[in-house]
Structure 1
Amino acid sequence: MKNYKNKKSIVKRLAYAGLFVAISATVLQGCANLDPDPVEFNLPPESFASLTDFDKGITGIYSTLLSAAQWTTFYAASWAGDDITTHFASNKADFRQFDQRVVQSTNGRLLNNWNAIYNIVNTANSLLERSQGMENLDVDQDRLNILIGEVYFLRGMALFHATRVHGKIPIPLTAIPDPNIGLSEQVDVYLQIESDFMEAEMRLPDVYPGQEAGAPRPNKGSAKSLLARLYLDWAGFPVKDVSKYTSAATKAKEVIDNAALYQFELSANLEDLWKVANRFNNESVFTISYCGSCGFNTANLKDGILGLPSDFGGWQETFAEIRYFEDFPEGARKEATYRTDLDYTTFSDQKSPIFKKIAGPVDDLPAAAFITDRNDFYMRYAEVLLIYAEASGRSGASSADAWEALNMIRRRAEGLPYASADSSIDVTSGDLAELAFSERKWEFAGEYLRWFDLVRMEKVEEALIARDSPGAIQEHNEIQGSLGTSNYFSPVPQAIIDLNPNLGN
């Protein structure tokens, strides 16, 4: 006789801890094998009967990812960087904790993000278990292989997102996780993410069939690109395995050499990326796509009005930091990054610069836009090029191709054709790694990446002290917490620790 009462209690604990399968109601209605009744999880998992059911289950992962990423909560940790800030008052207290380096375990954004990530992970675990045995069915085995690779990609992406925020994290790999699971060491987390991305790389096609540009469903190049990003982090703090710089450069070069095959390329004009009409484009190597016209639950809810001050009826959530803006090199890239038509020094409320990447180009979004169709470019091909340049430099392999990867970004930053050599812009000597690292600073301003670069290179104190140096206009949210490495990662949410004390170690 099953001990139903005890198992029901475990399921309840997992559900509240964000370590339980979450599938959207619309997907559940069309996929009986994903019945949300917790009792079903007391029974041996059954294989999917068809690829259609398996595909619907994957749609459930995307639904969970979209519902998380459509809010700025998904990227809240990035407010700790020196490029992004928030309002000094109003209802932005959770964001200010990151901004000021005093993140509490009771931070609501932290808990919501944790739950969303582990819903993705455990949905993926359930789908992988239910796909077992399908190789014995009369189904398209090539399509089955692609779907399995896609699940591995999404699980790896979710775990990678979590570890960049928290450092050590639990790694549940079964549909019903161990309710007493503990935190894994950082290197073990990286090894699991690497394994997932490598499975995805092996199984995914060069181009996912029937998809828009920008890989809204990942392809082989998407997996390689995120592997390159993973290796770059792995080589830095906290693991500091410098051999991974070679791995990062190698994997990035594989993407570059096959960019046409994967349908990746730089946009000729950087500003075009932020226009709604270009929400699907070949520069994105993995896109989280939204549909504002389809309804609130499928819209992007973190752009437009959230990036404007109260002077323009804005909700004042995502601003640019002053020192960063003032130091930003003049030229086409600065114009593509910021709304320089709005003089922040004249604002009546908070005097902070405005990101064009958030508020949108002039007249591109409707006035007071909150519900938008804008997509998230979770990783851009520009980053692949800069990873190749930086990792090549740090591994002592500063080839001509690596310099060219850097120069392509430098040319476009000046509004020039990126593929045409220009002696007034190009560099071919010096410290390639540091030049590429500096280029990342400007290229990805306001894209929620800067904080993670500061962490891996242990430059948090240097960057955040520099922003308040003499001559700079005082930032509105002053640093209150430690800038040391012990304060780089956010705590596990207290609500999660209350359910499983092992996660507080």
Structure 2
Amino acid sequence: MKRIIATLLILLAGTFSACNKLLEIEPQGKQTTATFFTTPATAKQGLIAAYKALQSNYRTNYPGYVRWVFGDVCSDDTRANGGDNPDMIQVEYFVANATNPFFDNAWSTLYQGIHAANLVIEKVPAVKGLDQATRDIYSGEGKFLRAYYYFNLVQIFGGVPLVLQETLPDYNIPRNSKQAIYDQIVKDLLEAEPVLPEKSTQAKNDYGRATKGAAQALLARVYMMQGKFVETETWTKKIIDAHQYSLDPVYYHNFTIDGEYGAEAIFEINFQYDARFYDENGSGDGDGRTRGPLSYGWGYDDPTQDLVDAFEPNDPRKKATVYKNGDILPDGTIGAVGTSATGYLCTKYLILKNEMSDQPKSSAKDQIVFRLGHILLWYAEAANENGHTTEALKALNSVRERAREGNAQILADITTTDKVKLREAIWQEERVEYATEVFRFFDLVRTNRAAKVLNAYAKKYNDQKGAEFKEGIHELFPIPQSQINLSHGVLQQNPGF
């Protein structure tokens, strides 16, 4: 089921080794950067290698870039439950300094991805035997991946060194401005989008690779993070009007193995199953966040009561997102949350009993990056900001209609035409529609609500979570001290750290 993964993991095991230096990836074994990109076959191998950094998290590459710590745990939606990981709790409480390994691991992993993408972009044009269409697609994928890795970096750290070539003369590279990084991301995506294939033309054995819709979705999110709502509306509308995607009528189906690459999926990260993370009598582990019944009895990324209370009465998305002790899970097993910090675990990231494989590492649950449910809400938000109220309401209510799953007694349509009230309704819908999907903290930052929401959380629950968040400082995280040292002080630290 994981079509690009088996090749990728075998390839990377003997090719690139991770280290903490900026963009330094030493060749090992038989394959090197000199022997890649010499034939169509090795060019494809080099391209697939550029996807590897996407998979970095607790289960497959620890320590690595743990997306959900930044996007979820740092928000009001989830808790770290890091009793065995004080570093994670420090990040959650905004008391971590520049030596915290979560920052160094994120930086290193993402720059490794950038290095691999740079290789693709530089070397594919010279590969003999590749037809021009394939050459264009490979280059487009490289640019998409470079844009995605830089987008993660700029969200976390702000301005970072902009490196667009394979090799570096040294590591004394200063930071580029945040805007320069965004400008390069947009440039890469605008060049990638026209040459990437539509989802409907993609072969099944290429699922997991970038498509035109993936580039459009990332462009929309990039513009949205900058508050550029005209461009956000334009690119989300392109996705909607292309009719390549449709809302899955059953919300939870998106988060099952059966639902992978389904009608709603735009881009997702492939994962393999690891037999260590399940018990034969209960549900398993999707990506390191959730442990199922009888399976270790602990988990990370625990949904908060505040998130649970955000769902409207009888909203089916709540059950599809969180569970507590005694809840009946989708596979019929009884929910057990072990030592959860909040009394809840994430339903979305369980590998259910019926999804378990007979063979270790042969199947698993992917991580969704973009799906149509996201796009419709981003379109609604942008349309409302641009004064297109009717269009905003239509998109917003289409998401709520799907969430109802045929029950007309719940989740009534939103009807307000007041811009401020509609904006708040869309923000609320975004929170529950894609809860625990790694957007919440960055949504709070981009809408200038992070300090207000997180400080209020600390006060409401008499909790350290959110209490130390300082406006103007903690919207970004510290540049890893190891990287500052490596640059001999050329890299400058973010203010306040």
- TM-score when scaled to structure 1? 0.80
- The residue correspondences of 1:441-452 to structure 2 (distance < 5 A) are 441-452=431-442
Q: Distance in 1 between matches of 2:343 and 2:362?
A: 23
- Aligned partners of 1:306 and 1:370 also within 8 Å: no
Q: Distance in 2 between matches of 1:448 and 1:269?
A: 21
1:59 and 2:48 aligned: yes
Q: Displacement of 1:308 after TM fit?
A: 4.0
Q: Displacement of 1:488 after TM fit?
A: 1.1
The residue aligned with 1:197 is 189
Whichever residue aligns with residue 223 of structure 1, its letter is A
DSSP 3-state at the match of 1:313: coil
- Aligned partners of 2:454 and 2:469 also within 8 Å: no
Q: Distance in 2 between matches of 1:450 and 1:16?
A: 28
The residue aligned with 2:162 is 171
DSSP 3-state at the match of 1:454: helix
DSSP 3-state at the match of 2:349: helix
Q: Distance in 1 between matches of 2:364 and 2:220?
A: 29
DSSP 3-state at the match of 2:470: coil
The residue aligned with 2:424 is 434
The residue aligned with 1:17 is 21
DSSP 3-state at the match of 2:176: coil
Whichever residue aligns with residue 376 of structure 1, its letter is Q
1:270 and 2:251 aligned: yes
Q: Distance in 1 between matches of 2:133 and 2:354?
A: 45
1:421-448 residue CA offsets vs partner (Å, 9 max, x unmatched) = x994253623333322221111111111
1:264-313 residue CA offsets vs partner (Å, 9 max, x unmatched) = 221111111222222332322111111226999xxxx9637742499863
Aligned length: 450
The residue aligned with 1:240 is none
Whichever residue aligns with residue 497 of structure 1, its letter is I
- The residue correspondences of 1:229-268 to structure 2 (distance < 5 A) are 229-235=221-227, 244-260=228-244, 264-268=245-249
Q: Distance in 2 between matches of 1:397 and 1:375?
A: 35
Q: Distance in 1 between matches of 2:130 and 2:290?
A: 48
Q: Distance in 1 between matches of 2:482 and 2:339?
A: 39
Identical amino acids, percent of aligned pairs:
24
Q: Displacement of 1:104 after TM fit?
A: 1.6
Higher helix share: 1
Q: Distance in 2 between matches of 1:334 and 1:170?
A: 41
- The residue correspondences of 1:368-447 to structure 2 (distance < 5 A) are 373-398=364-389, 400-416=390-406, 424-427=412-415, 429-431=417-419, 432-447=422-437
Q: Distance in 2 between matches of 1:21 and 1:387?
A: 37
1:138-174 residue CA offsets vs partner (Å, 9 max, x unmatched) = 5311111111101000110000011111111111111
Whichever residue aligns with residue 91 of structure 1, its letter is D
Q: Displacement of 1:353 after TM fit?
A: 1.8
Higher mean C-alpha displacement, 100-109 vs 423-432: 423-432
The residue aligned with 2:323 is 339
Q: Which residue of 451, 454, 457 maps to 1:461? A: 451
- Aligned partners of 1:216 and 1:286 also within 8 Å: yes
1:109 and 2:102 aligned: yes
- The residue correspondences of 1:58-137 to structure 2 (distance < 5 A) are 58-68=47-57, 70=60, 73-78=66-71, 79-87=73-81, 90-134=83-127, 137=128
DSSP 3-state at the match of 1:502: coil
Q: Distance in 1 between matches of 2:401 and 2:129?
A: 52
> Structure 2: 5+ residue runs without aligned partners?
1-17, 278-283, 328-334
Q: Distance in 2 between matches of 1:312 and 1:59?
A: 33
> Structure 1: 5+ residue runs without aligned partners?
1-13, 36-46, 236-243
Q: Distance in 1 between matches of 2:324 and 2:403?
A: 16
Q: Displacement of 1:468 after TM fit?
A: 4.0
The residue aligned with 2:141 is 150
RMSD of Structure 2 on Structure 1 (CA): 3.3
**Cα distance, 1:459–1:362 mapped onto 2, change above 3 Å:** farther
Q: Displacement of 1:123 after TM fit?
A: 1.4
- The residue correspondences of 1:33-52 to structure 2 (distance < 5 A) are 33-34=33-34, 48-52=37-41
The residue aligned with 2:465 is 478
- Aligned partners of 2:20 and 2:104 also within 8 Å: no
**Cα distance, 1:16–1:483 mapped onto 2, change above 3 Å:** closer
Q: Distance in 1 between matches of 2:214 and 2:423?
A: 23
Q: Displacement of 1:340 after TM fit?
A: 4.7
Q: Displacement of 1:504 after TM fit?
A: 2.4
Q: Distance in 2 between matches of 1:62 and 1:16?
A: 19
